[in-house]
Amino acid sequence: MASPRLVSGNKSVSLMSFFSRLLSKDFPRSKILAVLLLAVLIGLVITPFAFPGAKTLNVAAKILVFIVLVASYDLLIGYTGIVSFAHTMFFGIGAYGIAIASTRLGPFWSSLALGTALALVASLLLSLLIGLLSLRVRAIFYAMITLAIASAFLTLASQLSEFTGGEDGLTFKLPEVLAPSTQFFSGPVLGITIDGKILTYYLVLCSALMLFLLMLRIVNSPFGRVLQAIRENDFRAEAIGYTTVIYRTLSNVLSAGFATLAGCLLAIWLRYNGPDTSLSFEIMLDVLLIVVIGGMGTLYGAVIGSVLFILAQSYLQDLMKLAAEATQSLPMLSALLSPDRWLFWLGILFVLSVYYFPTGVVGRLRSSSQSN
């Protein structure tokens, strides 16, 4: 008969083995980072119950969508060293795929599946074409090409009102089980009503978690190691036998695919899509800021960066309003803390984060952990 200590040890080993496979052996490598990631996961899971309200649920859903979107861009810029300004184009293709299919075919699961599939096919083909035609050029030239393509796509989406709804966008319905009017219990559960909106949130949560773990697996595979080698020195990678154009193109295609799925999640959550919702250049700038804040080349940076940036973006005005009211006796300070100046303070916070965390929050935490 096995001793209790041996049984307990076997359980501990099997649990560690499970998490090792789940995270593709890419552990946080920092106790503080591990605690933060666990806190983010628990917070996102319990948000509907711990922080009831439409705004908090919308903020949590936006964080989930941006984690996938930013991680997919980090796959391109952080792991391969490719700077692209067309990432939101693929994000928009995913959102429009769901919106157009649901508008044309009705609120059915088959509409969501068809819209997702067609959006993925369109994004993969377009990203493959862009990669094959443009990735032979270097650095800023490729970035400018992608910026031109993304701008043209935004203009096209705004003008094809028959299909995209033009500037007004498309509002659509989801399957009845995901409708806010659908209730699954006769009374509240832990203080909230479990309806289709809550189910939609957990659908987005589970999808985002699976997509993130899949990207984590990709970057820690032999393919991901080659991408990192190309990022560090593409000439050396070419010299040892890797055709860098093929790997860079595949990275572009994979990144576009995940961005498309992030767009699908956004459309499913909002039940609406328009040019400003998923294709605007402001979203591209937000993604770049989040990648820098979280840390390039670390998918965990997408999690930390998305949480910090979107919380600041969503609640900084409210905090500044409280601060302005508390300092009314000091007119100059109160005016400086006016909610109308929230972008100014957000910019200052970004500058400070770059100054004190040049390798991003995740990079700084990992380096601190190693030095200790």
The CA-atom distances, in angstroms, between 139 and each of 53, 116, 135 are 44, 31, 9
Which of residues 187 and 300 earns the better pLDDT score?
Answer: 300
| DSSP annotation string for 332-364 | HHHHHT-GGGHHHHHHHHHHHHHHH-TTHHHHH
DSSP 85: S
**Distance (Å, whole) CA 349 – CA 341:** 13
Please state, rounded to an integer, the average pLDDT across all residues of the chain. 88
The whole-angstrom separation of Cα 82 and Cα 266 is 25
Instruction: Judge residue 84's burial from the number of C-beta atoms within 10 Å of its C-beta, 0-12 exposed, 13-18 middle, 19 or more buried.
Output: buried
- The answer to which of 18-22, 119-123, 313-317 has the lowest mean pLDDT is 18-22
This prediction's pTM: 0.92
What is the model's pLDDT at position 239?
A: 85
Residue 46: CB atoms within 10 A of its CB come to 12
Q: What's the rounded mean pLDDT across residues 268-278?
A: 93
Residue, of 14 and 106, whose pLDDT is higher: 106
Percent of the chain with pLDDT over 70: 94
pLDDT for 6: 52
Q: What is the CATH number of domain 29-41+52-371?
A: 1.10.3470
The Cα 152–Cα 146 span in angstroms is: 10
- Per-residue confidence (pLDDT) for residue 286, from 0 to 100: 92
Per-residue pLDDT, 72: 96
Chain mean position to CA 96? 17
Q: Which residue has the higher pLDDT, 49 or 136?
A: 49
Closest to 324 measured CA to CA, from 339, 341, 314 = 339
Domain extents in the chain: 29-41+52-371
Q: What letter would DSSP give residue 271?
A: S
